[in-house]
Amino acid sequence: MHPELIRFGPLAIRSYGLLLAISFLLGVIWSVRRANKVGVNPKIILDLTIVIFISSIVGARMFYVIFHLEEFRGHWLDVISPVQSNGDFVFGGLTMLGGVVLAVLCGIVYLRIKKQSVWKVADVLAPAFPLGIFLTRIGCFLNGCCYGKPSPQEAWGVVFPADCPAGYAYPGIHLYPTQLYSSLKGLLILIILVLLERYKKFDGYTFWLMLFVFGIGRFVIDFWRYYEPSMVLATIQGVSFSVNQGVSLIIIFVSATMWNLLRAKSHKPLGAK
């Protein structure tokens, strides 16, 4: 694994951070090009990406902190400070789903304030999200975080080095590489969107389809992902369900509902109530 690519004193350039930056840059460039094709002002896209970037980091951090309060007890400044109490310049501890939820909410509010077509703009941005998953989850694999449960079959598992979170928690044990499963999920979602967008009949089609497939993929993969006890929502007949799976079910329900509501609205004759 290669969690750090290069270090300058306390400042470390990490694999995850670099891939996150690359995915964000590629997502912005692609979204601007898509905006031009459908008549959306690229400036709105650029401003919105800043809103999404900030809100996603805040949401991901807050969601992580809520379920890991013991980790910050006695040094609460680490919650918001990139310079941690141990002197490292790093901002670890993020939960993607918290970032997704807050970014969607803040993005909708921003577009409402700017009097933009929310779902039209959302469709423009939608493919950038699975592209980001595809790249950043590779960063998770290199970092050794977001790892899976022990694999009973060595052929399906990966032994992580002891100097990363996965190797520290399970030294010398084969673990499911759920980071790579998630990366593949992002690629598959991206392919699905590219193939099905040609059948788009209404604004919001691509965005809610993306979230629907994302929620299903995240729910399934989480059966193989390791979570500490504080992140376990319930255990039914020996099968544990994570908090993130609960959030995924909400995303699946909301996205399916919104997709069908927007589809029905697009078929309603003008003037009908």
Whole-number percent of the chain with pLDDT over 70: 88
CA distance linking residue 66 with residue 113, whole number of Å: 30
- 210, with CB counted inside 10 A (0-12, 13-18, 19+), is buried
Going from N- to C-terminal start, the domains of the chain cover 4-266
Q: What tokens does 98 get?
A: 């918290």
Is the backbone of residue 218 left (phi > 0), alpha (psi -120 to 50) or beta? alpha
Q: Is 62 or 50 the better-scoring residue by pLDDT?
A: 50
Using the predicted structure, report yes or no on whether residue 272 has a pLDDT greater than 70: no
pTM: predicted TM-score of the whole model, two decimal places:
0.86
Contact 91, 62 (CB under 8 A): no
Mean predicted confidence (pLDDT) in 129-137: 96
Quickly state the pLDDT bin for 178 (edges 50, 70, 90): very high
pLDDT at res. 273: 45
Span of 68-82, 93-107, 123-137, 210-224 with lowest mean pLDDT: 68-82
Q: State the average pLDDT over residues 13-33.
A: 90
